[in-house]
Amino acid sequence: MKIVIAIDSFKECATSKELSWAIKKGIIKTYDKAEIIICPIADGGEGTLEAFSFINSARFISAKCTNPLGLKITAKYLLLDKETAVIEMASASGLDLISKENQDPFLTTSFGTGELIKDAINKGYKKFIIALGGSATNDAGLGMLLALGYKFYDALNTEVNLTKDISKIISIDTSFCLKELNECEFLLACDVNNPLTGVNGASYIYALQKGAKKSDLKILDESLKHFAYVVQKNTLKKYDEVPGAGSAGGLGFAFLSFLNAKIKPGIEIILKEVNFENKILNADFVITGEGKIDEQSCMGKVIDGIGNICKKKDVSCIAFTGNSSGADEKVHTKGITSVFSILNEPMSLNEAMNKENTLNNIEKISEQVFKLIFELNKPKKSENR
């Protein structure tokens, strides 16, 4: 029996790789002769580098950069081949890099993401896959652009370098940009469809989880609207309403407006790069899942991408989750055969999200599910007569 494990990370709990090994452990307890292939997966958010790292040619590079509050850190990005670099913006500009009490979308910057891009360009890389999830920022990519040499000025012709001063920008100077940017290609792996501004934009939908107060949202949104207006006036490009422009605090908008980037659902990019369809050839089962399965799971997330391919290839697909919020019927139409919660007893949210509990629970449910599967696949006694 061939089983492919392609499960997303459980956010703030366990990585795709950790979950995969726990599932494998549970299956082996039942049937140690199973052929099990582990394929870490992500949708463009956290875990993207881990998913790409399983490609044979991939190797990690460490680089000095700036965290969202301007402190120096070392971050990693991935080289896929001789010309393609994969950068997870969260590794330099992510919410997990700063404490909750220091989260402030008026101060945080994407400058470090630009530094990682610059480092890769200096090493000769010209093709980029950028994962846009998990940001601590709401700066519309201002910080990243500054790191790449763009300059922004206010009415007094003073340079604007701080996120809180975005609303003061009136002009843009591109003469100091890295010349190599004209030769670079950027593909954005995105897991959301939000525009830059408005009630569904970066500020109103995501800024609260980045340290904003409700009273801040209108101010933040107006700042991004002003920036979009200035960008359109200076570049004659209008990308603020494009789905995904509001991803990563508006970083998607900056890539689209200044770097001619293309944007795609992250799960599509990753499944193609890891050659997922080839991995599931002759597979009997695929195991996928994510921390919470809801209606959003069917909109460009891991569940959606994996399920659609399994449906196309007629492979049974099992999904494990910590919380299935009434979306079971919808995910079944997406190619998911069955959904199982890994929780086996009442517990608090903190207990449920404890890494050790999660890995133990997913190991146990894997063991029980495959005990049933292997039992049902045994030859019937009547067939042996």
pLDDT at 162 (0 to 100): 96
Same domain membership, residue 209 and residue 242: yes
Separation of alpha carbons 73 and 112, rounded Å: 9
Give the amino acid at 171.
S
pLDDT at 326 (0 to 100): 66
pLDDT at 55 (0 to 100): 84
| Positions in the chain whose pLDDT score sits under 70 | 298, 326-328, 379-385
Same domain membership, residue 115 and residue 6: no
Same domain membership, residue 250 and residue 113: yes
pLDDT at 36 (0 to 100): 97
Are the CB atoms for 293 and 319 separated by under 8 Å? Answer: yes
pLDDT at 11 (0 to 100): 83
Alpha-carbon distance values, 289 to 18, 114, 341 (Å): 13, 32, 10
Same domain membership, residue 369 and residue 290: yes
Same domain membership, residue 164 and residue 246: yes
Whether residue 371 lies inside any domain: the answer is: yes
> For residue range 336-381, what is the model confidence (pLDDT) as tens digits?
999 999 998 888 888 988 999 999 999 999 999 999 999 888 766 5
Same domain membership, residue 21 and residue 127: no
Cβ-based neighbours of 91, under 8 Å, separated by 6 or more:
49, 75, 76, 77, 116
Separation of alpha carbons 382 and 186, rounded Å: 61
Give the CATH number, domain containing residue 88.
Answer: 3.90.1510.10
pLDDT at 123 (0 to 100): 96
Same domain membership, residue 187 and residue 253: yes
Alpha-carbon distance values, 182 to 126, 149, 236 (Å): 9, 13, 18
| Structural domains of the chain, count | 2
b (16+ CB within 10 A) / e for 302-316:
bbbbbbbbbeebebe
Same domain membership, residue 34 and residue 88: no
pLDDT at 381 (0 to 100): 57
Same domain membership, residue 318 and residue 236: no
> For residue range 158-189, what is the model confidence (pLDDT) as tens digits?
999 999 999 999 999 999 999 999 999 999 99
Other Cβ atoms within 10 Å of 262 Cβ, number:
10
Same domain membership, residue 197 and residue 113: yes
b (16+ CB within 10 A) / e for 112-130:
bbbbbbbbbbeeebbbbbb
Tell me the CA end-to-end span of the chain in Å, nearest whole number: 25
What residue numbers bound the domain in which 208 lies?
Answer: 48-267
Give the CATH number, domain containing residue 306.
Answer: 3.40.50.10350
Rg (alpha carbons) of the chain, rounded to whole number: 22
Separation of alpha carbons 377 and 228, rounded Å: 59
